[in-house]
């Protein structure tokens, strides 16, 4: 078994152990990128974000856009609608779909373990309701954490009224992630295939605006599967 497959299996087992109840079939979107394929299972607990992501994928909104913001040991971000034809070196991040989504934060049920998918948003001062971008999203890579640094993260989150449990700390220590984002951003999916691609992308060299020096493009986004919850809803 390759190290990459083992990492994905361990990650999925770790995430699965967080949740007490068995998950039904979820909607799946396949991102075909210039670096490889990434499959994302969308969360039924965030139906507004799930349905929005599916609609944008069907309408081709993600086709041709870049992963325009990449930070090593943190995350990769895409969905800027202005990035599709952006000239090399042009600062990106302002392109969007023209609307925002209400926050659907499911913390502490879901948190920023490696492989989780979240909605980007404006900062707290301009966006006190933590509304999500209509199209920009990020995939968590993060890093693994020592008990000492996790305690520091826990204390910082506690100042904001966000509690990091012992189980969360154990998960971050084992699998990695970005705990400082917990409870403040909507997570609406998780990568089920292609973490090797995410790893490759997050390690690419970037300019001072965190844009990769060589474009990393989403060639197309394809809806592979609807969720069981959506099938039930359609029958009502």
pLDDT at 25 over 60: yes
Contact (Cβ atoms closer than 8 angstroms) between residue 26 and residue 109: no
Could you tell me the sign of the dihedral formed by the alpha carbons of 50, 35, 13, 140, in that order? Answer: negative
Segment 176-200 shows an average pLDDT of 98
pLDDT at 185 over 90: yes
pLDDT at 19 over 90: no
Contact (Cβ atoms closer than 8 angstroms) between residue 107 and residue 182: yes
Residues 134-166 have pLDDT tens digits of 999 999 999 999 999 999 999 999 999 999 999
Interatomic CA distance for residues 79 and 135, integer angstroms? 5
Q: What is the pLDDT of residue 2?
A: 53
pTM comes to 0.89
Residues 190-231 have pLDDT tens digits of 999 999 999 999 999 999 999 999 999 999 999 999 887 766
pLDDT at 13 over 90: no
Interatomic CA distance for residues 203 and 214, integer angstroms? 12
Segment 23-31 shows an average pLDDT of 88
Structure tokens given for 29: 């979107």
Q: What is the pLDDT of residue 233?
A: 63
Average pLDDT value over all residues in the chain: 91
């Amino acid at each position: 078994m390759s190290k990459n497959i083992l990492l994905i299996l361990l990650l999925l087992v770790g995430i699965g152990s967080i949740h007490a109840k068995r998950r039904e079939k979820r909607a799946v979107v396949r991102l075909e990128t210039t670096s490889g394929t990434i499959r994302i299972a969308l969360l039924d607990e965030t139906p507004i974000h799930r349905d929005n992501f599916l609609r944008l994928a069907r309408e081709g909104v993600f086709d041709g856009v870049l992963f325009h913001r990449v930070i090593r040991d943190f995350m990769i971000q895409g969905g800027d609608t202005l990035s599709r034809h952006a000239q090399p070196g042009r600062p990106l991040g302002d392109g969007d779909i023209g609307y925002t989504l209400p926050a659907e934060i499911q913390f502490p049920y879901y948190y920023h373990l490696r492989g989780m998918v979240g909605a980007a948003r404006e900062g707290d001062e301009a966006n006190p309701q933590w509304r999500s971008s209509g199209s920009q999203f990020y995939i968590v890579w993060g890093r693994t954490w020592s008990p000492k640094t996790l305690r520091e993260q826990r204390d910082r989150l506690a100042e904001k009224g966000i509690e990091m449990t012992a189980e969360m700390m154990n998960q971050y220590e084992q699998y990695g992630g970005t705990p400082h984002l917990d409870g403040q951003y909507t997570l609406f999916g998780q990568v089920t295939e292609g973490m090797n691609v995410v790893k490759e992308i997050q390690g690419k060299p970037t300019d001072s605006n965190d844009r990769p020096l060589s474009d990393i493009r989403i060639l197309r986004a394809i809806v592979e599967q609807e969720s069981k919850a959506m099938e039930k809803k359609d029958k009502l």
